[in-house]
Amino acid sequence: AQSVTQLGSHVSVSEGALVLLRCNYSSSVPPYLFWYVQYPNQGLQLLLKYTSAATLVKGINGFEAEFKKSETSFHLTKPSAHMSDAAEYFCAVSETGGATNKLIFGTGTLLAVQP
């Protein structure tokens, strides 16, 4: 079975500082990985996805993630945090096989941005 682990349920950064949210995956097959963001009282919005085309994936709002097979990681980064980035971030893996591609989510990381 595939799974993802997000290290750090809460991360706090200052405005303008680097954002680093960690995600490690477990999969016996090449994984398809996703990062979603959830703003308060809203649904999940796709930030970016890894589909094996390129190891460095650029997403919306200045976020990017690098797939590292040797480290089984897919960490999310942004060079300079903005107040509007405060939200909860979820890493997910698509559990393929059979006729489904259901998402298996990590426990989420709540990002706080301090002025």
Partner 1 sequence: DSGVTQTPKHLITATGQRVTLRCSPRSGDLSVYWYQQSLDQGLQFLIQYYNGEERAKGNILERFSAQQFPDLHSELNLSSLELGDSALYFCASSVEGWAGTDTQYFGPGTRLTVL
- In 52-74, which positions are buried (b, 16+ CB within 10 angstroms) versus exposed (e)? eeeeebebeeebbbebeeeeebb
* Minimum distance of partner 1 from residue 115's CB (angstroms): 28
- What is the rounded distance in angstroms from the CA atom of residue 91 to the CA atom of residue 97? 20
How many residues bind partner 1 (CB under 8 A)? The answer is 25
Among 17, 22, 24, 44, binds partner 1 (CB under 8 A): 44
* Shorter beta-carbon distance to partner 1: residue 6 or 81: 6
Contact positions toward partner 1, by CB under 8 A?
A: 31-32, 34, 36, 42-46, 49, 51, 90, 94, 96, 98-108
